[in-house]
Amino acid sequence: MTLRVLRVAACLAACAASAAASDWYVAPAGTSGGQGTRDAPWDIESALSGRQKIAAGDTIWLLGGTYKHPNRKSGNLGYSVQLAGRENQPIHVRAARGERVTIDGGLAVQNPSAYLWLWDLELIVSENLRQSRRFEELGSHPKSYDRPHGGLNVYTGTGCKYLNLVIHDNAQGVSFWSGATESELYGSIIYDNGWDAPDRGHGHAVYTQNEKGIKTIADCIMTGGYGYTMHAYGSSRAFVDHYLAEGNICYDGGRFLIGGGRPSRDIKVVNNYLYNVDMQLGYSAPENEDCEVRGNLIVNGGLYINKFKQVVEEDNLVLRKTDPRPAGAAIRVEVRPNPYDADRFHVIVFNWAQSPTAALELGRHLQMGDSYRLMAPRDLFGQPVAAGVYDGTPPPIPMKGEFAAFVLLKGSVR
């Protein structure tokens, strides 16, 4: 068990021990004058902006439906989040159990937010679902991008966590800036963000900078889009320090980059899975301090470590398109548990033999009689790729090609 998982377990135990916490409810048709109950819920704007009586340790349950921010102008970041919990007493903002909650227009985490956990929300910009994503203007701020920016925009906050989010079809997936310290993006599915232009693709799955404290980006699934998957980058004035990137699954997307114009330090990149994605540490800085690159599996891509004084490089497997595949192992299947949700796992399959199916060993994760659903990341709320009741036999996973990623959910209904 990794140190990070132990920290998660301790944090969850401390949060569960908070005795005086209250549950509050928000609905698409809620009002600021409501009581915050399920029968008389609040509106999302007054709840998230801190105008309601929410205390450290409380949970705000968002009831199912679409919360569409009324400002649809270019560049709008959506609902402002200004909620401050305390260490071991975070404020939780969660989708109600078993309900799909869609935020249309984005979230912006701003002061005085701290010790805030956002869970299980879907973030979109609905205009991008039906309008062209091709613009003929150059640069990162085209005037013709006549729709909200959307996504998750984190400007501040100590000890915050962003958990199991689904973020797609925004101008950018996650903007995770230096004002967010000792914070974590975990288990989120981020795909098809950004737009196309004559100069290049714009908008990344994750765009991030960091100066103080460890910023963790772990067990996320990132794919598609028009920019980079991971874009931990900045100019010579920006800090790109103290990162832990662990267990992420990146495929069919842009480069996974940590590095910029200023020297980087304390970079740990461990046990990530990349397919059709390059990994690069270090960019244009004349030298960097230290990095640890261990246990990564990169297929149809390269690993580039640039100008670091100290490098720990161990147990990485890098296979370019023309390289032979591992001998004696027709299929490699990895199942990664979710320390925040015991009913959720990420599944990675490297189908070296191009078999039509792969066997999914679930004995370590399911009990006899448990129901399960195997979901495609881009269709988490749709029909399962496979489903059943576990009887001890490894269920077959339908495969197309050499690689696939899935989300395994325990139970028939979330």
Q: Are residues 113 and 192 in the same domain?
A: yes
In a domain, 5, yes or no: no
Q: Are residues 264 and 397 in the same domain?
A: no
Q: Are residues 140 and 234 in the same domain?
A: yes
CA distances to 52, 173, 242, 385 from 376, in Å: 37, 18, 32, 7
Parent domain of 44: 11-319
Q: Are residues 301 and 345 in the same domain?
A: no
Q: Are residues 314 and 342 in the same domain?
A: no
Contact 389, 233 (CB under 8 A): no
Q: Are residues 34 and 135 in the same domain?
A: yes
Residue 6 has pLDDT above 60, yes or no: no
> What are 280-307's pLDDT values in tens digits?
999 999 999 999 999 999 999 999 999 9
Q: Are residues 225 and 341 in the same domain?
A: no
In a domain, 110, yes or no: yes
Q: Are residues 272 and 344 in the same domain?
A: no
> What are 17-31's pLDDT values in tens digits?
455 799 999 999 999
> What are 125-165's pLDDT values in tens digits?
999 999 999 999 999 999 999 999 999 999 999 999 999 99
* pLDDT of res. 329: 79
Distance CA 316, CA 279 (A): 11
Residue where one domain finishes, among candidates 290, 319, 348: 319
Residue 1 has pLDDT above 60, yes or no: no
In a domain, 301, yes or no: yes
* pLDDT of res. 15: 60
Q: Are residues 123 and 205 in the same domain?
A: yes
In a domain, 91, yes or no: yes
Query: Can you give the CATH number for the domain in which 252 is found?
Result: 2.160.20.10
In a domain, 6, yes or no: no
Residue where one domain finishes, among candidates 287, 319, 351: 319
Residue 10 has pLDDT above 80, yes or no: no
Contact 166, 193 (CB under 8 A): no
In a domain, 324, yes or no: no
Q: Are residues 275 and 301 in the same domain?
A: yes
* pLDDT of res. 411: 87
Q: How many domains are contained in the chain?
A: 2
Residue 67 has pLDDT above 80, yes or no: yes
> What are 19-66's pLDDT values in tens digits?
579 999 999 999 999 999 999 999 999 999 999 999 999 999 999 999
CA distances to 117, 178, 225, 262, 341 from 209, in Å: 20, 5, 20, 11, 27
Q: Are residues 236 and 182 in the same domain?
A: yes
Distance CA 97, CA 90 (A): 19
Q: Are residues 150 and 42 in the same domain?
A: yes
